């Protein structure tokens, strides 16, 4: 069922690269790594894989105009990095991710994302470090998963200063005061999870 997502690496940082480049219209891996708070080597590797898959294009060499590359502050810069931008295929992919079927495919394309969404749907608000500890997963990976799922629209940050015990089944306390960014599933994610279980 992954279909249109097949060319995209099954890595939450790949999703974040797509959304980042959609916002800034072009950037180079080192800068993207800083913006996404990700490892530079991982971003470089993913950009190369995504270019090979036809999802990214290299920006022509020479001078990059500021109006075309929003991540740069100068009017124009000499290009001494490999800049990437979205291809037409990526534009179509981002539109697909806005659709219900696109979100459903994400839950199948990122199996750990589905695990996290199920956990939130079942247990209420949670934050990446607790999820990583309880599921024995790498914290940075889980943090990127949460952020990718948020960009796709499957989870949202939970607002408020405290969480009541009735809202959070994962941790037995009368009340939790927020020191972290907590996430919850969206209504769409909960519907899609029910569909996937049928």
Per-residue pLDDT, 116: 96
Q: Mean pLDDT across the chain, nearest whole number? A: 85
pLDDT digit string, tens, across residues 36-62 = 999 999 999 999 999 999 999 998 655
Q: Please check whether the two domains, 7-94 and 99-197, share a CATH topology.
A: yes
Per-residue pLDDT, 71: 53
Per-residue pLDDT, 155: 97
Give the CA-trace dihedral at 40, 43, 47, 48, to 10 degrees: 60
Domain chopping of the chain, boundaries: 7-94, 99-197
For 7-94, give the CATH class.
Answer: mainly alpha
77 vs 67: CA distance, rounded Å: 11
Domain covering 99-197: architecture? Orthogonal Bundle (1.10)
Q: Look at residue 162 and give its three-state secondary structure.
A: strand
Other Cβ atoms less than 10 A from the Cβ of 62: the count is 9
79 versus 109: the higher-pLDDT residue is: 109
pLDDT digit string, tens, across residues 180-193 = 788 999 999 999 99
Write the DSSP string, 60-94: PSSEEETTT-TT--SSEEE--S--EEE-HHHHHHH
Per-residue pLDDT, 175: 47
């Amino acid at each position: 069922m992954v279909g249109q997502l097949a060319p995209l690496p099954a890595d939450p940082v790949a999703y974040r690269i797509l959304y980042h480049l959609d916002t800034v219209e072009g950037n180079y891996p080192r800068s993207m790594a800083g913006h996404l708070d990700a490892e530079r080597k991982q971003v470089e590797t993913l950009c190369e894989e995504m270019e090979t898959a036809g999802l990214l294009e290299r920006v022509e060499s020479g001078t990059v105009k500021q109006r075309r590359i929003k991540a740069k502050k100068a009017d124009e810069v000499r290009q001494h990095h490999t800049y990437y931008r979205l291809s037409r295929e990526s534009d179509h992919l981002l539109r697909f991710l806005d659709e219900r079927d696109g979100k459903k495919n994400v839950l199948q394309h990122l199996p750990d994302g589905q695990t996290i969404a199920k956990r939130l749907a079942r247990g209420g608000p949670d934050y990446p470090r607790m999820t990583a500890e309880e599921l024995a997963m790498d914290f940075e990976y889980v943090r990127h998963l949460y952020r990718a799922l948020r960009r796709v629209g499957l989870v949202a940050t939970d607002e408020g200063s405290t969480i009541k015990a009735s809202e959070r089944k994962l941790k037995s306390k009368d009340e939790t005061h927020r020191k972290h960014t907590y996430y919850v599933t969206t209504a769409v994610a909960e519907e899609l999870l029910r569909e996937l279980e049928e």
